[in-house]
Amino acid sequence: MHIMKRIGLFLLLLVLAACGGGASGGDPADVVERYLTAKVAGDGDALRPLLCSPMEALFSREVNSFSTVEGARLENMECTRQGDSDVVTCTGEIVATYGTETNRFPLASYRVVQEDGEWKWCGESG
């Protein structure tokens, strides 16, 4: 009977792990990094599921932000969630070339929200 209790406990732990074990929606910093990568690449399929509901109306603006830029790229991107807050702060920059001029846009802090159990990018933080 003792072995049956251990098997039962093991199965319960296995089910909890499969359900996320209380963790919800993954890593918000990863979501922001994926958002920024998709935005710079103009990848609408990757970008759309990362936007929070209020930002969905701005999808075209977000996906086309760098559409006229040759060779836009992210450099030294590193994003970190600020404690348990809804803010993710990123270092690094977007480098964009317009004709012969190269511009650098430093990354900032971004707001994230949970919708349907998933973290979503929801604009720059105040």
**Residue-level pLDDT at 122:** 97
Residues in a beta bridge with 115? 118
65's tokens: 């932000």
Are 109 and 88 in contact, with CB atoms under 8 Å apart?
Answer: yes
**Residue-level pLDDT at 26:** 87
Are 51 and 31 in contact, with CB atoms under 8 Å apart?
Answer: no
**Residue-level pLDDT at 114:** 97
**Residue-level pLDDT at 24:** 54
**Residue-level pLDDT at 110:** 98
* CATH topology for the 25-124 domain: Nuclear Transport Factor 2; Chain: A, (3.10.450)
| Mean pLDDT for back-to-back runs of 10 residues, the chain (126 residues) | 38 32 71 97 96 96 90 96 97 93 95 97 92
0.85 exceeded by the pTM?
Answer: no
Number of other CB atoms surrounding residue 47 within 10 Å: 22
Instruction: Kindly state the DSSP code that residue 125 receives in the 8-state scheme.
Output: -
